[in-house]
Every structure is written in structure tokens, then in C-alpha cells.
Structure 1
């Protein structure tokens, strides 16, 4: 299946509140920016926040309150970004506890006292719901934290709230619009408000970009971290499948799902990643994690990380979109100046799978969601219950697109099916093909533009994918990828994705950090209403 068609099945999603005047993009000849971030914490990194807490300039409580104020101003009262679906009512009390620990000299690590937003398909055992953005799951209060949330709490993070997402992580319709859920409405892109924020981790990406938090957690099956990172000019790390536990996360695919961090810098994303990892007896995939897996990825932030590195570039990406081509060629030149050896390769062919990937996801989604719902506190206890609920509440749940992916998945058999096993065989073979590509050319990483320019939010036709998707083979194979800002086309962010070997997050972080330091592409959003025409 081609990436463009596949993404319609998995990576972005939906729309409600379709009364928004965003069905068509508008062209502007003037700077329509009328919003901005006035928070004293805007663009501060995790390290800078830690330095301020250490000096006493701020506390975890004051930082948490500042982000809460920013959420109220930009997410609810201002341009209504709809990035945050729910605030943790215990956030300030958690911050107070961590401030007391700091006073007593107890510091849990680099995330101590740092507020973190969590995607709303990840269980938190508190007063917040876990719904995957679906009205069908409204009222679902998890009995226990997801493993990754336990890790974050142990690391001293303040769970600030839940972020909106493409409903069911975009596994609902082939005609969905990224960043919409029936519970949370439409998430907007803070750079150009009528452009897609991508998804499915839309709210997590937008929140970091708009300074509603310093770092956040998203999830990815194929592109749901990489694409929001690219389209919101931030950094997203999609870890090797198995590095971060999936237990307590509403699933799509046990073969491809993973959680991962967002930050405005490679350093911030790397620090959050270190707090998320760990072996979990409830997720067998984590048992394959190497025994010496790092817990501190900040040590790999090397400004010379590209020196002598062999970087594979997909040759078909050098003639896709004239404006993106310019950015990508400039990125290649910058890498070469830092000592990288750039080699043209043909790695996207590893993703030519026919219908195998969509077939795999349909089977695994049914199996995983039924297992999750059967043990949850949701009123619906099966995928069939979800489908029935949506039909009974069609005016609220399906105002513009349907639920055909849910219905297709529900009609599938179990994981003993011959069709499923054949699809799984083809997917697992991608790992061999991609590993062989690395070995043949002695590569340290592959890279390419993460996406083309963001498309207009369109509740009628859904998403319009614009080529690239260079991160796709890493997602299918379970290998890691990291996406970093590469520049802008008419103020629309463009990202570059680096793909690595399994469990080589250290090498990828080193490469991405070196590129980030020489390119320095990120700039804060200006909340423009539409694209400005250049004279």
C-alpha cells in the first residue's frame, strides 16, 4: 500500500465542531497574526526550567500555573487550538509535592517538577478520563496508570493534562481530518490556523509548539509522532518498538505501536525519552530491549554527531515539491559540511506491501481494542459496542465522516487467521529488508523530508496527503525515527526525519542534534489565520 493511501487508514484523523470557518484555506496579502505567546516560559527548554527552579526564580507550582494560564489563553479563549482535551485537577498539588522534595534535596532527575501533557489514549489513574477522543469512551477512568505514566511520575514529572488526538488514533475512517475527535473537536495548527496539525498525536504536537508545555507524550503506529512533529516545527522521537511499554495504552497494533516524546529541541525530547523507557512484564515487546539500554539520552547530544556518519538519502525525494526540494538539498549540504557522507539509496521500496499493512492493523486493532475495553471502566465493552454507540449518536459522533475502518476491523476473524498470519509475515520481512539496506551501504541513518506542506483543514474531503512520508519504513519495521524542523514554505513548517537501526536511539539523537545545531530552523508560531502570499 502506498504511504499516501495508508495514512488515510492510520496516521491522522477526524472532525467535529464543523461549524469552524475552516473548510477552505484562504490566501492573505497581509500578516494576519493577532495572537502570540506572552508566557514568561515561552520557548524555555527543560534544562532552562530546571536552572530556574534550582535558583529559586520559579517553582514547579509557578511553572505549572503558568502553563495552565497559557492553555486557558491560547487553547480555550484565544484561537481555540483545542490541543488540550482535559486538565489534571491534581496538577498543582503534584507540583507542590515535588517542590517540597526539592527543598529537602531530593531530585528525581531531569524531569523533576516539569509539567508534561499526555495523549488521551494513555491511561492515567487519576481524575482524568482516557477516551482516545471518542464519545463512546466518555467516563472511562483508568484503574491504573499506563506503565509509561508510572515511569514519568517516578521521574518527577507533573502530569498536566490530556491532549486531543485524531479519534481512535485515526483508525475510524478513510476520510477523516487530522486532529479531530468527537470528544475534543478540531485541533488547529498554531503556525497557520486553517492548516492541518497532522496526527494522530495532534494535540501533543500543537501543545509543545504553542508553548502550552515544554514536552509532551504522543503515540505512533505509522507517522503519528513524525507527522505532527514536522507540521508543528518541533522534535518528535518514534522509538524502537519495545523500548517504551504499550501497556495501558489504547491500541491499534501490537506490532507497530509505540509511545514517544515531543519537545521543541532534540535535547528536551531526549530527556523525556529517558524517563519513559523500561522493561514491563505486561508488554512482552519490552523483553527484547537490550540489557544496557540507556536511561540518560542527553549524553548523546553531540554537536559533532554527523562527522563521518554515512547518511542514506532516498533519491526519489529530490524532485517532489520545488520548495521542499530546496530545503532538503540545503539540509544535505549542511550535513556534508559537518562531515557526513551522503549516499543516494532506494529505501522507500521496503514499504511496498500491497494491502498487508492495513490487513494487519485491522486484525490487531480488533484484538487489542476488545481486550482493552473488556477490562476498562468504559460503558462500551467491545468494538461492536463502540460501533453501535456511534450509530445511536450519529449527529455528534459522525457529523462529517463515518466509521468504516471500525466496521471492517470488526468483521475480521482472530489472530489465528491465515490472512492475518500472511500479512504479519510480510510486515516482519520489512525489518529484514531495512536492516539489509543499512548493512549493504554501511549506513548510520536514512533521511528524507517527513512530509510535504500541511494541507487545508477540510471536513468534507478529509486529509490531502502531499507525498514524502520518509519515516514510513521505520514505523512498519519497528525501527526508530526522529523528526526535526527543516524549514518553512510560506510559514508552513517542514520537517526532516532520520531513521535508524533497531535500538540505535543514541546514534539517531547524536545525528539529529548535530543537524539541529547547525540548522537552527525552529521559530515560534505566530498564529497566522491563513497563508500569506509572498510578493
Structure 2
């Protein structure tokens, strides 16, 4: 690595990146974006190898040392060799191989990667190397992205409250206050992205798990319309709700990832619905003036003075003023009176046994476990999961054979129609509400309210919902504003979220993971 010392120091001095519209010298990739990194590569000021090494140094300094974020399960041992390959191709052709050329990505460790273990956070799957990439992973590789690390998650993606797994000792920690939770289950991805361990990230969301961690880490999190993004090759939790999506520091970066990962996949039949509904690029909807004349519906059922932390409630009302100042027409408020009744009426029908056994069956003959029963028998999982896993295994009925299955489908459709009717009757483009009505909880605290609003509307309907930074409570605890839309209304959500982000620039990096000094970086490279 000694041969890279001088080029990297040159990057420290000369690389210019754009952060929130301001140009700064990037001594250690502070908030670097895909666009700024590609501009530096094309100007001859940065290589993929240099970029990967800079991020690896930050992981080394801050993940299991210093603030001990505990966000990373495994660093990709082939990241630098992949970067060298991409640098070689760029040198030979003068062309980027794709829209994510050389961009290091943090991948939640429930996405299959053919060249690295995919553990789902479970010690029992520590040596499980899938025979194939998840569909989304193949797409990002084809676009030139470099998987720099697999990130921690709530084991089996079962908790939206925290990120703890048997594959790592201890919880993933929130970089804004390391005594507090990252949320779950994609908390490792969110902590890593906000701490600048990679440029972009991938998470999954069954009930809360993209938008929750994004909100708790001052990030952008996209839960797309169910069916827009393939789930094949992603360890499942509940296929009626599961989806993947981006977790990034900016709306534009999240949109660039979305452009790459959407599409029809014959291995996931739900993606048939997206045909003819995907634009050539979602980037065309990045309009900083996109809030002018937009009609924003306030969904106060999810944030009242009685069911919210007072600082979150005040911040939400301030966000509404910010939307008005950017030209939006704010309709306060829009209601669905039956919402609570519907959400309390769903029967709990486990899908894990069937869905996870199908996933295991596709891992080939070398898979360490062939069934969920085998994993349970191994005892190699976190103790908090035992009852959930045993209950799932004991339910031998197919999900569709349960008496409550038809009732649940009817309730989902009823909620879809009520929400569409409420939005249509008020002529609003989207609904807004806080992603959480309370700040991040202390790690281990399961008594005070979590305040998550993420599972109320989007998961049971399959409609898209995006979370963007709304500011901070108690000086340092991030909060997210959620934009909820009609099916396949990603263009509208992107336009409004981007305009809000550009009007406010609420995100700021955490103080726990500052830029590495030149002296420290030089010492690391000289080893």
C-alpha cells in the first residue's frame, strides 16, 4: 500500500466535493456524493483504489475502535482488487463502466453475495456463501459499484427497534449518540453510511427497516412501491411486505441507486406489476423547485401533541412551515378515521417458515442449513429470537390456509382504498408525518415509546414512502420527515423530497466520526 500514500495525500489536498451546495476540500470524504466522486475520477484526481482505501481506513478507525459503532459484519477482502479492475478498465477505455462506477456500497447482510457469506445476522449462517448474487446485487455490480462491506442487522430482520445479531457481539450504535439505538433492522447500513464508511447503502424494509434507521441517522431512506424492486436472493421475513431499497446521505444518491435496482425479475413474480411504470431515469424528477404549488396533506393521526415527544412535535410543525416557505400548499389535516381499527384487526400469520425454507433450498448443496428447523436445532441464534423462531416453526399451515388470510387481504385492500379516497378528495400529492414521533431510544430500552410510524401505512398497502432528514431534537438526535404516496408515485415523491432537502439542508455528519488526520492516515497506510 505504500505506493498509494502520495496519491492519497494529493486527494486530501485537491479533491473538491459538493456538500449541501457548498464546495469544500475533502480531507477524508466528508459527505462525498456519487456525482462529486465521478467528477474527481474524470478529472484524474481520484481512483477507485484510492477511494476504497479511504473508506477502509474510516471503517478501521471507527467501527471496532473509537466510538465502536459495530455496524460492519465483514469487510470485503476483494474490494481493493475490484477497484483495481475498474481503474484498469477506465484507463483503457476512458469510460466509466456504469452509473455506479467505483462507488463503494454498504450492503445489509441479508442480500446474497456469491463471493462473501450472507449471514442474515445469524451465527448459524456464518459460513453460508450463496451460489448466486441477489438480483439487486447483480444489478449494482453491473453498474460498477464495489461492495466494500456487509453490514449488521437485526437478526432475521425481525426487529424494527434495534440492530443486534448473533453474528456480532453487542448492538450497532447510533453515531450521533453511541448510547442510543440505530433502529432496525437495517441499522448497520444506516450507521455505516452516516459515518461515511461507504458512499451509499442498501437496506430492506418489511415494516420499518429502511425508513426507521434512515430517520435515526439523518439519512434518506426509500421504501419503494412493492413490486418495483426484486426480492429474489434476499433472505425473507414476510414476502407480503418485504422490499429492498436505498439508504443514502442525499436524495440524489438514493435516486441514482433506485435507477439501477428497479426492474422486472422473472424470479420475483410481484415485479410483473412494474412493467411500463418505470421511467427511463428517475433523475429527471430532481427539481429543487418541485414544492412550488405542490399539495401536501398532513397526516396528524400519526403525530399529535399527546402521542409524540414535544421536541419532535415542534420539529414537525416547523417542517410544515418549511414546506410552505418552499411554495407548497399544506392541507392540515387529512384523516382516515378507520386507520387504527384496521391496523388492530390484522391477524398475525407467520410466513417465515415457508418463505425461509424456500430461500434455504436455493442456497445449493453446500448450504450449512437446509431448513429453519435445522437452524433452531443448532441454537446458533440470538436468544431474543427463540420464541419467534419456535412459533414460526410450529405453524405448519401454509400462510394462505389460515382463516385470517382472506380477512387480512380484505383489510389491506380496504386501507388502500381509504387512503386513496382521502388523498383524492383533498387533492393532495402526498401525505407527510414524522418517521418517528419520539427520538432514538437508549440501547436496551424497550419500555419508553419508540414512536415508529413506519409500519402504519406503507407496509400494509404496498404504497411507497420516503424518509428525509427533518432536523435534530435535543441538539443531536436526528428526526425524519416521511413522504407517503400513491402506488408507483416515485417520481412525485422524488420531486418533493429533493425540493425539501435542497430548501433545508438539515443533514449534518455525526461528531463521533470526524475526518482522519493526515498523520494518522499516513501511519495506517505505512503499516
What are the equivalent positions in structure 2 for 1:37-52 lying under 5 Å apart?
A: 40-52=28-40
Whether contact under 8 Å (1:275, 1:295) holds in the other structure is: no
Please, which of 209, 218, 241 is the counterpart of residue 226 of structure 2?
241
What are the equivalent positions in structure 2 for 1:465-476 lying under 5 Å apart?
A: 465-469=449-453, 472-476=456-460
Q: CA RMSD in A?
A: 2.0
Please, which of 497, 502, 507 is the counterpart of residue 517 of structure 1?
502
| Aligned-residue offset at 1:420 | 2.6
The CA distance in 2 between the partners of 1:342 and 1:258, in whole Å, is: 30
The CA distance in 2 between the partners of 1:265 and 1:286, in whole Å, is: 26
Q: Are 2:197 and 1:220 aligned?
A: no
Please, which of 152, 165, 180 is the counterpart of residue 181 of structure 1?
165
Q: Which consecutive aligned stretches of 4+ in structure 1 deviate over 4 angstroms post-superposition?
A: 354-358
Partner of 1:359: 348
Whether contact under 8 Å (1:243, 1:278) holds in the other structure is: yes
Distance change in 2, residues 1:419/1:194 (3 Å): same
Please, which of 428, 441, 447 is the counterpart of residue 455 of structure 1?
441
Whether contact under 8 Å (2:79, 2:146) holds in the other structure is: yes
Please, which of 81, 106, 109 is the counterpart of residue 98 of structure 2?
109
SS in 1 for 2:352: helix
Whether contact under 8 Å (2:161, 2:450) holds in the other structure is: no
Whether contact under 8 Å (2:104, 2:147) holds in the other structure is: yes
What are the equivalent positions in structure 2 for 1:288-367 lying under 5 Å apart?
A: 288-316=273-301, 317-319=303-305, 320-343=308-331, 344-347=333-336, 349-350=338-339, 352-354=341-343, 357=346, 359-360=348-349, 362=350, 364-367=351-354
Q: Give the aligned length.
A: 476
SS in 2 for 1:342: strand
What are the equivalent positions in structure 2 for 1:4-43 lying under 5 Å apart?
A: 40-43=28-31
SS in 1 for 2:148: strand
The CA distance in 2 between the partners of 1:357 and 1:130, in whole Å, is: 32
Partner of 1:35: none
SS in 2 for 1:326: helix
The CA distance in 2 between the partners of 1:48 and 1:144, in whole Å, is: 32
Which stretch shifts more, 369-378 or 279-288?
Answer: 369-378
The CA distance in 1 between the partners of 2:502 and 2:447, in whole Å, is: 33
| Aligned-residue offset at 1:108 | 3.3
Whether contact under 8 Å (2:277, 2:488) holds in the other structure is: no
| Aligned-residue offset at 1:435 | 2.2
Please, which of 107, 110, 118 is the counterpart of residue 121 of structure 1?
110
Partner of 1:388: 377
Q: Which has the higher contact order (CA 8 A, sep 6+)?
A: 1
What TM-score does the superposition give when structure 1 sets the normalisation length? 0.85
Deviations along 1:12-68, one digit per CA (max 9) or x if unpaired, are: xxxxxxxxxxxxxxxxxxxxxxxxxx9611211111111111111111111011111
Q: Are 2:50 and 1:62 aligned?
A: yes
The CA distance in 2 between the partners of 1:366 and 1:241, in whole Å, is: 21
- Unpaired runs of 5+ residues, structure 1, are 1-37, 529-535
Which stretch shifts more, 255-264 or 407-416?
Answer: 407-416
Which stretch shifts more, 71-80 or 348-357?
Answer: 348-357
The CA distance in 2 between the partners of 1:80 and 1:358, in whole Å, is: 40
- Unpaired runs of 5+ residues, structure 2, are 1-25, 514-527
Please, which of 130, 145, 148 is the counterpart of residue 160 of structure 1?
148
SS in 1 for 2:180: coil
Partner of 2:398: 414
